[in-house]
């Protein structure tokens, strides 16, 4: 049985077996594929201490040195893309193609971070006062931590650590305990790229490890991505301990379809964004808002496309894989009964879908609900599975009100051929990432990613320019190099420019 342990100070942690460990499943077979050690406070302290020791040299490493390591890491991740995708699929269940796509999106953040010399350039003003110059520097914080969810075991950590490390920080990653192998392979690739020991560390585990990171005095900042209740907890606990925290939470993403939209394009988008990665994406579309009179036609087109989806083992060229664990599969399946009981119309029942995989796998086929209303749990809860709800509304205004009254604000999309309507929507919708005829508007690496309302706690987004801001603090220097005159010039008033 494969045993996965922490990566601390440039190597697997050599301590005897941890007191606590968890099981890691292959979701397509339903079998236990590995065990993973759960860190107690001692293991977290060892990782933070290694990162603290490494910080002194890494913060002083030249930008050329840091970028040479980043370029080498970039090449290694690109070369090992298929291998990384295989590790993801084996523990997460998403298809190999989907997993390769997530590696690619993470790689793009590494490429962005390769430009760190430009991104860290400060400002300079000559002669702010007579013979006085002023300039600003961005400096790293120290040891920073990342806590990440199961659904993107490569991409979400790579939203964080390439930029943090490029800025001169050292990093402790606490990945999801459900699919921990990818993080260890990434740590090995960092070592191969020449990253000094201790700059990147991985501790596995659960709340025990998270709590220690949130309160450890040497951890200066925490980036979190996961469900909203945990994001709120991490934000409140981390900031109360004096840390800089960005905590991205859950989502309920609406796709508004106006009467003038191309309904085939909209149906393709709804199925792709609703069922890709079995709906286990924070940017998945979970609600289609059909503005009258498109409802009947759109539901028929979506149902037709669902019937053609191949569900099965992600290694077999299917469209959609299993859910991540049996418990999660059963929780999601429970919403099918809840939706029917609440009065929604079960237009497509995913439990009847043909499956190309082992009987013990964590399967649930794509499900479509019609006639959903805002008071039903299938609407209010983040289901995080292959369940798409259609809410019918009479007007555009009611569609926007529905989206804006939802407590989440991660992503949304509008499908229309009316540029004016799209422009109005992007202006008034209370959501952080907006697509116009694009169903999953995930910003590229050189923009920043983040939602509004209960989808993000803190005030900076991840990666892109916000990532550089989050992982650095500004120092502003005002300097005079006097030419000796022999005259005295004591002045007690507040300095103003002369």
Work out whether 410 is an interface residue with ligand NAD (CB under 6 A).
yes
79 — alpha (psi -120 to 50), left (phi > 0) or beta? alpha
CB of 332 to ligand NAD, least distance (A): 12
Q: How far apart are CA 91 and CA 130, in angstroms?
A: 64
Q: How far apart are CA 196 and CA 376, in angstroms?
A: 52
CB of 443 to ligand NAD, least distance (A): 11
CB of 209 to ligand NAD, least distance (A): 8
Residue 138 neighbours by CB under 8 Å, 6+ apart? 120, 122, 167, 468, 472, 473, 474, 475
Among 190, 379, 384, 471, binds ligand NAD (CB under 6 A): 384
Among 15, 207, 351, 475, binds ligand NAD (CB under 6 A): 207
Among 30, 157, 250, 409, binds ligand NAD (CB under 6 A): 250
Q: Omega of the bond prior to 392 within 30 degrees of 0, cis?
A: no
Q: Which parts of 306-365 interact with ligand NAD (CB under 6 A)?
A: none
Beta bridge pairs of residue 433: 411
Work out whether 174 is an interface residue with ligand NAD (CB under 6 A).
yes
Piece in contact with ligand NAD (CB under 6 A), picked from 11-19, 202-210, 254-262, 311-319: 202-210
Among 382, 386, 391, 471, binds ligand NAD (CB under 6 A): 382
Question: Two tokens at 48?
Answer: 């933070």
Give the residue from 173, 223, 154 showing the smallest Cα distance to 48: 173
CB of 450 to ligand NAD, least distance (A): 7
Q: Omega of the bond prior to 219 within 30 degrees of 0, cis?
A: no
Among 111, 133, 206, 349, binds ligand NAD (CB under 6 A): 206
Work out whether 102 is an interface residue with ligand NAD (CB under 6 A).
no
Give the residue from 247, 7, 204, 13 showing the smallest Cα distance to 91: 204
3-state secondary structure of 460: coil
* Cβ count near 75 (within 10 Å): 13
Residue 421 neighbours by CB under 8 Å, 6+ apart? 258, 260, 396, 414
Q: How far apart are CA 174 and CA 205, in angstroms?
A: 7
Q: Which is nearer to ligand NAD, 86 or 249 (CB)?
A: 249
Among 47, 230, 298, 378, binds ligand NAD (CB under 6 A): 230
Among 282, 318, 323, 390, binds ligand NAD (CB under 6 A): 282
Alpha-carbon distances, residue 54 vs 142, 180, 200, 201, 471 (angstroms): 10, 24, 9, 11, 16
Burial 281-306 (b: 16+ CB within 10 A, else e): bbbbbbbbbbbeebbeebbebbbebb
Burial class (CB in 10 A: 0-12, 13-18, 19+), 130: exposed
Q: How many residues lie near ligand NAD (CB under 6 A)?
A: 27
Q: How far apart are CA 227 and CA 171, in angstroms?
A: 22
Sign of CA dihedral 296, 301, 304, 306: negative
Piece in contact with ligand NAD (CB under 6 A), picked from 170-178, 257-265, 386-394, 482-490: 170-178
CB of 223 to ligand NAD, least distance (A): 10
Beta bridge pairs of residue 477: 135
CB of 145 to ligand NAD, least distance (A): 11
CB of 100 to ligand NAD, least distance (A): 18
Alpha carbons within 13 angstroms on the beta-carbon side of residue 51 total 32
Work out whether 39 is an interface residue with ligand NAD (CB under 6 A).
no
Residues in the chain: 498
Q: Catalytic: which of 114, 167, 282, 318?
A: 282
Q: Which is nearer to ligand NAD, 249 or 312 (CB)?
A: 249
Q: Which parts of 142-161 interact with ligand NAD (CB under 6 A)?
A: 147-152, 156
Q: Which is nearer to ligand NAD, 279 or 366 (CB)?
A: 279
Q: Look up 114 and say whether it is catalytic.
A: no
Give the residue from 213, 275, 184, 189 showing the smallest Cα distance to 49: 213
3-state secondary structure of 64: helix
Q: Which is nearer to ligand NAD, 55 or 449 (CB)?
A: 449
Q: Which is nearer to ligand NAD, 210 or 348 (CB)?
A: 210
Q: Which parts of 446-475 interact with ligand NAD (CB under 6 A)?
A: 451, 455
Among 153, 226, 295, 458, binds ligand NAD (CB under 6 A): 226
Work out whether 98 is an interface residue with ligand NAD (CB under 6 A).
no
Q: How far apart are CA 221 and CA 62, in angstroms?
A: 23
What letter does residue 277 receive in the DSSP assignment?
A: G
Among 46, 141, 225, 294, binds ligand NAD (CB under 6 A): 225
Piece in contact with ligand NAD (CB under 6 A), picked from 19-27, 96-104, 225-233, 268-276: 225-233
CB of 163 to ligand NAD, least distance (A): 15
Work out whether 370 is an interface residue with ligand NAD (CB under 6 A).
no
Piece in contact with ligand NAD (CB under 6 A), picked from 80-88, 226-234, 262-270, 332-340: 226-234
Task: Give residue number: closest CB to ligand NAD.
Answer: 226
**Residues designated as active site:** 282
Binding site for ligand NAD (CB under 6 A): 147-152, 156, 174, 176-177, 206-207, 210, 225-227, 230, 248-251, 282, 382, 384, 410, 451, 455
């Amino acid at each position: 049985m494969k045993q996965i342990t922490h990566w601390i100070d440039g190597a697997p942690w050599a301590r005897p077996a941890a007191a606590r460990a968890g099981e890691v499943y292959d979701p397509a077979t339903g079998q236990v594929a590995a065990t993973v050690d759960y860190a107690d406070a001692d293991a977290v302290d060892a990782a933070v201490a290694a990162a603290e020791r490494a910080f002194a040299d890494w913060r002083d490493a030249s930008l050329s040195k840091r970028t040479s390591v980043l370029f080498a890491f970039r090449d290694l991740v690109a070369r090992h893309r298929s291998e990384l995708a295989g590790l993801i699929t084996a523990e997460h269940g998403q298809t190999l193609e989907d997993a390769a796509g997530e590696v690619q999106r993470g790689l793009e953040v590494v490429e962005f971070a390769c430009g760190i010399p430009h991104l860290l350039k400060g400002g300079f003003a000559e002669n702010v006062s007579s013979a006085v110059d002023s300039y600003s520097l961005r400096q790293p914080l120290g040891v920073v931590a990342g806590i990440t969810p199961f659904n993107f075991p490569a991409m979400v950590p790579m939203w964080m650590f390439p930029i943090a490390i490029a800025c001169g920080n050292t990093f402790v990653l606490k990945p999801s305990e459900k699919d921990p192998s990818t993080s260890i392979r990434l740590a090995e690739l960092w070592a191969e790229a020449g990253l000094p020991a201790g700059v990147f560390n991985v501790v596995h585990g659960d709340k025990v490890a998270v709590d220690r990171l949130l309160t450890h005095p040497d951890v200066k900042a925490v980036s979190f991505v996961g469900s909203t209740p945990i994001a709120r907890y991490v934000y409140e606990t981390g900031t109360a301990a004096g840390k800089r925290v960005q905590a991205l939470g859950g989502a309920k993403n609406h796709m508004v379809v106006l009467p003038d939209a191309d309904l085939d394009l909209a149906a393709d988008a709804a199925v792709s964004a609703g069922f890709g990665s079995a709906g286990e994406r924070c940017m998945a579309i979970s609600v289609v808002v059909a503005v009258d009179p498109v409802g009947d036609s759109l539901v028929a087109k979506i149902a037709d496309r669902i019937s053609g989806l191949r569900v099965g083992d992600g290694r077999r060229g299917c469209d959609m894989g299993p859910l991540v664990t049996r418990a999660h599969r059963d929780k999601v399946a429970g919403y099918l009964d809840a939706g029917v009981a609440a009065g929604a119309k079960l237009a497509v029942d995913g439990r009847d879908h043909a499956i190309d995989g082992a009987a013990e796998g964590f399967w649930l086929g794509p499900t479509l609900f019609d006639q959903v209303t805002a008071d039903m749990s299938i609407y209010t809860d983040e289901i995080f599975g292959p369940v798409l709800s259609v809410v019918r509304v009479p007007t555009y205004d009611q569609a926007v009100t529905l989206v804006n009254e939802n407590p989440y604000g991660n992503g949304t999309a509008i499908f229309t051929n009316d540029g004016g309507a799209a422009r109005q929507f992007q202006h008034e919708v209370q959501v952080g990432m907006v697509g116009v005829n694009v169903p999953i508007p995930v910003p590229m690496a050189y923009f920043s990613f983040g939602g509004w309302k209960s989808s993000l706690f803190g005030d900076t987004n991840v990666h892109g320019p916000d990532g550089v801001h989050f992982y650095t603090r500004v120092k502003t220097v005002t300097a005079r190099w006097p030419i000796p005159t022999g005259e005295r010039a004591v002045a007690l008033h507040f300095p103003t420019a002369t």
